[in-house]
Each structure stands twice: as structure tokens, then as C-alpha cells.
Amino acid sequence: MCGHSTACNVRVAVIGAGWAGCAAAVEATRLGHQATLFESARTAGGRARRVMATVAGQPVALDNGQHILIGAYAESLRLMRDLGVDVEASLLRLPLTMQFPDGSGLKLPQWPAPLDAFAGILGARGWSWADRLSLLKVALGWQLRRFQCDAAQSVTDLCQGLTATAMAALIEPLCVSALNTPPERASGQVFLRVMHDALFAQSGGSNLLLPRADLSALLPDAALAWLSAQGSAPQLGVRVQAMAPTNAGWRLSTDSDADLAFDAVVLACAPKEAARLVAGSGVAADAWLMQASGLRHEALSTVYLHAPQARLHQPMLALRANAAEPAQFIFDRGLLGGPAGLLAFVISASTGDSATLTQQVLAQAKGQLGLTDLQPVQTIVEKRATFACSPGLQRPLAHIAPGLLACGDYIDGPYPATLEGAIRSGLQAARGLHQTD
């Protein structure tokens, strides 16, 4: 195997067809390697994929978790365009809006950054001048410190001096939506990176990009079609059972083939599955295994409810969440190309079972939105949706052993468990193939 040139043709197995694995396989192929993508499920996308359901007797494509992108997700948007996805048609672009059903909250104007952020803060509806000034003062402090903080600081630590309104109406929903971790135990440094890139680095970086297509159609389907067109048909419904190093590279066994030979392997599966394969391979990777196996996880739940006449006045609203009313956001899927009256309630860092969450959200919809005729469609609880993005967390590195790399939103990097983090990790792994010897 060539160890120093991206022109070298490497036979690489990419295990897992989530967003990171799709990015890794596409980029490896683009760089001239022979990439074979394995996925144990029949649908690509991993923790951001299509789920079929029935609404009013008709089949409807839902998602296993309601996701959004933002304008700062440059690599995700570039890859979509490279794969032929019509980004403008597939994503509804809106200025950052964190408004509640009563109209209170923050909405940024379409101004250059960071003027849009400051104008949005000054014009926040339902906020006192003390609320606005406290946020401006804290945000200015972040800028003066170049968006850096002590690794041990939580988001709550970063926000000392904020009023309760500013904290509850903006920071808390932003934190749980970006990091899927409550502010009191979320990494301040990772939050600052997201805030910098979204609000202060580039105009349009804070824009909300709301999917008009299901998450598999948004990128994974296009990636699989592109790979097939290059002669690298993805292997869906095929589970890699074990892997082992050889003198020439790696040997994989799957539930359909006993022995497959590759020069390199990229693990793009969940950390638990990646750790299983690494531990079974016999390679010396104790530190990597300890970090991957030691990750704590947060759940993400999406409660889909339907009533033909249900409407929101905008595609996404923030909700006032508490233990009894747990949803932080609601999306009107009817305004995003789905059936009229289909609503998605999102519970970040969720606890509880699906039946309990469904009943709680029904009560929340009645109390906060006045919606009384909603019928449950499906409640999806992803128990290990993201890693817990806690202060000082040491995440596993991409390089595990010679010829063995990992990618995924949990791999060491500046972003939390987001689609952009997954894409960047997959691209990094593919570009590191020539350095794995």
C-alpha cells in the first residue's frame, strides 16, 4: 500500500453509511481510491435517516429525528452540491429565529455578521432592556476572549451575568439544539465554537436551513447513487462481523461473505460498534477503546402528531420546556413539503419512554399552542443520538492503527454531534488514507 500519495489506489472498506460514512466513501472515491461502503441497515443515513409512517392512510417519509442545518455548515452544503442535490429546493433558508408561540423572542435581520446578531438582540420581542444588555455584554466578552474559555467551563459558567429571560429564551434552546446537552453540563468551548461560526464569522452563517426532504434524500441517497455510478455499489443490509489486520492490509468477514481483503478500513459506525470491531481485531488501541467506550450519550426524541387543520404561522417555533412539557421546538412539516397538519415536536437530551413523552407533548401542544385534536403518528426515541458534549471531554482520534481510521460526529473535532461534524470527520478520514501506514 502506498503511504505517501493520494494518487495511490487504496482498496478501502467504509463501515457505516451514515453521513460520515457517505462523506468518507465519496471523498475516497474522488481521490482515486476503491471504496466499498457497508451498511447493516437497508436505509442509509445512520442517526439522520428516513423512517416511513402512515398519515391519514397515506405513506409518508418521516425522519428518525428532526434535524436542521445552518448556513455555517459549509462542508455539508458543498458536498450536497457536488452530489447533485438542489440545495435551494431541498432546504428552506430562514434568518435565525428563536421565537415562541406568543411572538416573543429573537429574530435576526438579513444583515452582515455580526451586525445581524446585535440587531436581533436589541430588537428581541418581550425582552426588557436589562435582558438585551446582559446578552450584549456577555457576547462582547466572548468576542474579546476570541471565543476561547477554560476547558472545564460549562455553558452555564459562560453565561454568568445573563438575565433569566435571556438564558431561558435563547441560550438554553440554542445549547440543547446544537449540543443536545443541557447548559449546566455542556462544554462551554464547543458551544463557543458553534456560536462563533454561526453568529460572528460569516454573513448568513446563522441562517436556519430547514429540510424540505427527508434526511436520507437530503444527502445519503445522492451519495449512494453517485458511488454506484462510479462503479462502487454500496453494500446495504450487510453487517461486518469482524476484521483483522494482515501483512497486506485488512481482512473483513461479513454476514454474507466469509473473507474480504482491503488495504485500509474506515470505521464510520456508532462508537459502540466501532469499539466492538476494534477490540475483536486484536490491534493495540487501548487508549482509543477507552475513550470510545467511555463516551456517555444523550437521547433525542421526536414526537410526530397530526391534525388536518393544524397550522403554525412559521415553519419552526421554540417552546417553553420543563419536566412536564419536554419539547423545546415544534416544526410544521406541512410548511416544509409534508402533509398538511403534520407537526414534529423535538425533545433534545430527552428522558422517559415513548408513550410517556407522547402524552406529555399532547398536553404541551394543548397548553402552549391550543391544539386539541392532534393524533399521534409516531414517536421515535434515539437513545444514543449523540455523545454527551461535556466540558473537557477527550474524544477519540481519527487514527486508530496503521490502515485503520474512524470517522463520525463523536471523533475529536471542534463541533458537537452535528451533521456538519459528521461530514467533516468523514472527509478528514478519506484524506488521511495515504498517511495510515
Cell of 73: 455548515
- Is 100 found in the same domain as 161? yes
Position 292 in a domain = yes
Say whether pLDDT at 297 is over 70.
yes
Residue 403 and residue 262 share a domain: yes
Residue appearing with cell numbers 446578531: 117
The pLDDT of 59-73, averaged and rounded, is: 93
Examine the domain organization and report whether 289 and 415 are in the same domain.
yes
Do 150 and 197 share a domain, yes or no?
A: yes
Model confidence pLDDT, tens digit, residues 214-254: 999 999 999 999 999 999 999 999 999 999 999 989 999 99
User: Does 1 fall in a domain?
Assistant: no
Do the bridges between strand 34-39 and strand 235-236 make them parallel or antiparallel, or are there none, so unpaired?
Answer: parallel
pLDDT digits (tens, 9 = 90+) for 331-373: 999 999 999 999 999 999 999 999 999 999 999 999 999 999 9
| Domain containing residue 237 | 11-45+219-296+392-435
Residue 204: which pLDDT band, with cuts at 50, 70 and 90? Answer: confident
pLDDT at 1: 36
At 200, the pLDDT band (50, 70, 90 cuts) reads confident
Question: Model confidence over 23-56: pLDDT tens digits?
Answer: 999 999 999 999 999 999 999 999 999 999 999 8
Report yes or no on 214 lying in a domain.
Answer: no
DSSP per residue, 374-420: -EEEEEEEEEEEEE---TT--PPPSEEETTEEE-STTSSSSS-SSHH
Instruction: Give the number of domains in the chain.
Output: 3
Q: Which three cell numbers stand for residue 406?
A: 474512524
Last residue of a domain, one of 139, 172, 206: 206
Q: Are residues 427 and 302 in the same domain?
A: no
Q: Is there a domain that residue 192 lies in?
A: yes
Domain of 233, CATH number, reads: 3.50.50.60
Residue 434 has pLDDT above 80, yes or no: no
pTM strictly above 0.75: yes
DSSP H helices, 283-329, are 286-294
Asked whether residue 301 falls in the same domain as residue 290, the answer is: no
- Residue 420: what pLDDT? 95
Same domain for 129 and 142, yes or no, is: yes
Is 86 part of any domain?
A: no
